[in-house]
């Protein structure tokens, strides 16, 4: 073992697992495209103020979880992105996308960084896929992003996920509610912890998010935002629920659901997995009509979006046995060389196979035939192609199917054709 270990809260993803990631990513690309979303890739770090403004100063992320540093001594502080939405909105505003068209549908898959205490399902570097629908604020728009997210889960075969949904109303609704919360919590100064006291002044809604059991008990009796919504806000929420019901997406209304970020308005939602233990949130999102202005836009850019944690999604899939059907693409040929003086000829054949699109491998260390056969079995090759003096002189090669032990002798041309046909048949259907 080397003296170096991966940094706490980060992990390596080895090839077998990478196959699982790529399978999920493929479905994300396919379904997002199907629903009219295009992929965006933004930088891994941004100016720190972007997140301070965009996520909100009273959030845990900005308060204590950002990896920030100075790129040069006199430079502006930058931060490894702890979430994607602020960067995506920044990119759209910077590129003046909204002068070209009012509506933009973007999706992403990318790495994020948060200085949280690492534990099962919680890392310091993790990945999310998500989508942002920018430029329109409507129940149909937020229902569209929820539907895309749920469709990805369904296509992956996931079951037992719980979608909780709530409405946070608009700014006016929340102002009235904020006052009601301050009135309710103020007499309980002895029970409130320091963080909650600070939130009571700055953003009392965030007290509802507290993990402190004593505060949670208080929260249970707190007024509900739902009771402070104006008629138009209620109608908006009901329309979202109507779309979900029409698309047979099951949900539970959870009046206590407030998302960790400040920029949400109206609909907020979260999906949890019973497979995950304490860190059971697999994804979430909502509508964030106020973000663009917060980032200095002179015009409103209403928006909705979601983000799903890739690692937690993969853990859930693994627990539900959803990777069992994953198999490698095409036949896997191991070229076995019988006499070392024919190694260069065997290499030439290997490259011809690869050029024809047939996944193939051969030993590069000059090992014995027995060792090569062992290797072929270890990497679970489907076929072994023998190269010996006989084959070299006649141009006819023996191909052995390792599963059935059946052997056929074919010219190189016929062999390539045969293997290409097998490859086509074995392509997994999405």
Residue 273 as a binder of ligand AMP (CB under 6 A): the answer is no
Q: Could you say which of 116, 294, 300, 375 contacts ligand AMP (CB under 6 A)?
A: 116
Give me the least distance between CB of 83 and ligand AMP, in Å please: 5
∠ CA(135), CA(137), CA(138), 5° rounding?
A: 135
Q: Is 110 in the site for ligand AMP (CB under 6 A)?
A: no
Residue 55 as a binder of ligand AMP (CB under 6 A): the answer is no
For strand 252-253 and strand 265-273, is the pairing parallel, antiparallel, or unpaired?
A: unpaired
Kindly give, in sequence order, each residue whose CB lies less than 8 Å from that of residue 118, ignoring residues fewer than 6 positions away.
Answer: 8, 9, 124
Q: By CB under 6 A, tell whether 307 contacts ligand AMP.
A: yes
Closest CA to 200 of 213, 189, 212: 189
Q: Is residue 128 a contact residue for ligand AMP (CB under 6 A)?
A: yes
Task: Tell me which of 284, 286, 330, 331 binds ligand AMP, using CB under 6 A.
Answer: 284
Cite the DSSP H helix spans in 131-224.
Answer: 139-155, 171-185, 194-202, 213-220
Tokens of 136: 């329109």
Among 29, 122, 239, 256, binds ligand AMP (CB under 6 A): 122
CB of 307 to ligand AMP, least distance (A): 4
Please report where in the chains the tokens 């293997």 appear, as a residue.
Answer: 419
**Out of 19, 136, 180, 281, the residue judged to bind ligand AMP by CB under 6 A:** 281
Question: What DSSP string describes 295-350?
Answer: TT-SS---EEEEEEEHHHHHHHHHHTTTTTT---SS-EEEEEESSGGGHHHHHHHH
Query: Does residue 67 bind ligand AMP (CB under 6 A)?
Result: no
CB closest to ligand AMP, residue no: 309
* Separation between Cα atoms, residue 11 and residue 333, nearest integer Å: 32
Told to check if 83 binds ligand AMP by CB under 6 A, we report yes
The stretch near ligand AMP (CB under 6 A) out of 22-30, 103-111, 116-124, 361-369 is: 116-124
Determine, following the binding rule CB under 6 A, whether residue 32 of this chain makes contact with ligand AMP.
no
Q: Return residues touching ligand AMP (CB under 6 A).
A: 83, 114, 116, 121-123, 126, 128, 260, 281-284, 307, 309, 311-312
């Amino acid at each position: 073992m080397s003296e170096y270990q991966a940094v706490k809260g980060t992990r390596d993803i080895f090839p077998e697992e990478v196959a699982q990631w790529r399978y999920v990513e493929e479905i994300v690309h396919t379904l997002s495209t199907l629903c009219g979303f295009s992929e965006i890739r933004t930088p891994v770090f941004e100016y720190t103020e972007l997140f301070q403004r965009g996520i909100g100063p009273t959030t845990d992320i900005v308060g204590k979880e950002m990896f920030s540093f100075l790129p040069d001594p006199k430079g502006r502080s930058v931060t490894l992105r702890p979430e994607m939405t602020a960067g995506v909105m920044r990119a759209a505003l910077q590129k003046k996308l909204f002068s070209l068209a009012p509506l933009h549908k973007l999706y992403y898959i990318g790495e994020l960084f948060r200085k949280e205490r690492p534990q099962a399902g919680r890392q310091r570097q993790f990945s999310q896929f998500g989508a942002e629908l920018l430029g329109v604020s409507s129940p149909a728009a937020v229902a569209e992003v929820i539907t895309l997210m749920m469709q990805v889960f369904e296509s992956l075969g996931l079951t037992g996920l719980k979608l909780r949904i709530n409405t946070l109303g608009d700014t006016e609704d929340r102002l009235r509610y904020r006052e009601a919360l301050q009135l309710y919590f103020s007499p309980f100064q002895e029970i409130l912890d320091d963080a909650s006291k600070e939130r009571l002044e700055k953003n009392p809604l965030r007290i509802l998010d507290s993990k402190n059991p004593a505060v949670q008990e208080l929260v249970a009796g707190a007024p509900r935002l739902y009771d402070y919504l104006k008629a138009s806000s209620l109608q908006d929420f009901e329309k979202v629920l109507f779309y979900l019901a029409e698309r047979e997406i099951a949900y539970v209304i959870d009046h206590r659901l407030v998302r960790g970020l400040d920029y949400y308005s109206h609909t907020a939602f979260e999906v949890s997995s019973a497979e995950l233990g304490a860190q059971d949130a697999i994804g979430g999102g909502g509508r964030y009509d106020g973000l663009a202005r917060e980032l200095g836009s002179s015009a409103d850019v209403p928006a909705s979006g979601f983000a799903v944690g890739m690692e937690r999604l993969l853990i859930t899939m693994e627990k539900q046995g959803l990777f069992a059907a994953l198999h490698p693409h095409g036949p896997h040929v191991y070229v076995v060389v019988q006499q070392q003086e024919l190694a260069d000829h065997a290499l030439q054949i290997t490259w011809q196979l690869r050029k024809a699109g047939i996944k193939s491998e051969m030993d590069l260390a000059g090992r014995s035939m027995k060792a090569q056969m062992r290797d072929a079995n270890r990497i679970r090759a489907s076929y072994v192609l023998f190269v010996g003096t006989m084959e070299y002189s006649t141009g006819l090669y023996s191909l052995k199917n390792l599963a059935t032990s059946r052997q056929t002798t074919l010219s190189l041309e016929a062999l390539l054709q045969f293997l290409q046909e097998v490859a086509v048949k074995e392509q997994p259907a999405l």
